[in-house]
């Protein structure tokens, strides 16, 4: 499959709509509280086109949107939050997400960013740190995390991200948000 990555253009209404459909479809199984309907997904896509934002789509050979990644500048531009990333459900695990992350990283580096962060919720008990009380020592649980149902934290690890924290109960009792980060520009600490 031939994939082309391009910035999401605010004037491409069809591509914006396709990205919104991807959000609804891609998150409904394991993250049902995310974007339940097209209106909220469209709002998310339109927000990604604002100032201090990065937004890219992956297009197939028919110019259909098969993936979307976006992010927002944080911490005076030293850190960028990757949010969200979605790939068409039947095309997942084919490298599209990785290519989108690589393009996002290049753009963050180009605008002077040092780190990318993201939160990857576990609302569907997909890891060993969900469904339990993470207190009083969340770090102990993070160190022993296991993947039960293909939670995306392992995808991000393969892209070079590390788990830097967790927000227990972020999505309700026993449903944490796993916080990950990756440095994208080398820093000389001497």
**Using one digit for the tens of pLDDT, what is the confidence trace for 45-104?**
999 999 999 999 999 999 999 999 999 999 999 999 999 999 999 999 999 999 999 999
Give the residue among 58, 72, 51, 50 at the shortest CA–CA distance from 18.
58
Domains, the chain, in order of start with CATH, read: 1-113 (3.40.630.30), 114-190 (3.40.630.30)
pTM comes to 0.95
**Using one digit for the tens of pLDDT, what is the confidence trace for 127-156?**
999 999 999 999 999 999 999 999 999 999
> Tell me, what's the pLDDT at 188?
84
137 exposure class (CB count in 10 Å sphere: 0-12, 13-18, 19+): exposed
Buried b / exposed e over 34-57, threshold 16 CB at 10 Å, is bbeeeeebbebbeebeeeeebbbb
């Amino acid at each position: 499959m031939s994939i082309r990555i391009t910035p999401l253009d605010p004037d491409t209404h069809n591509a914006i709509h396709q990205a919104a459909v991807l959000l609804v479809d891609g998150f409904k199984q394991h993250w049902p509280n995310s974007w339940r309907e097209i209106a909220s997904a469209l709002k998310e896509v339109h927000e990604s086109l604002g100032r201090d934002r990065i937004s890219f789509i992956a297009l197939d050979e028919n110019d259909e949107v098969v993936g979307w990644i976006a992010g927002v500048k944080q911490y005076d531009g030293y850190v960028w939050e990757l949010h969200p990333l979605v790939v068409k459900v039947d095309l997942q695990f084919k490298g599209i997400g990785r290519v989108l992350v690589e393009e996002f990283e290049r753009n963050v580096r180009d605008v002077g960013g040092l780190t990318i962060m993201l939160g990857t919720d576990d609302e569907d008990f997909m890891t060993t740190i969900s469904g339990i009380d993470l207190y009083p020592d969340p770090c102990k649980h993070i160190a022993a995390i296991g993947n039960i149902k293909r939670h995306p934290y392992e995808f991000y690890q393969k892209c070079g991200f590390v788990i830097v924290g967790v927000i227990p109960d972020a999505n309700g009792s026993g449903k944490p948000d796993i916080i990950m980060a990756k440095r994208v520009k080398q820093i000389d600490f001497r």
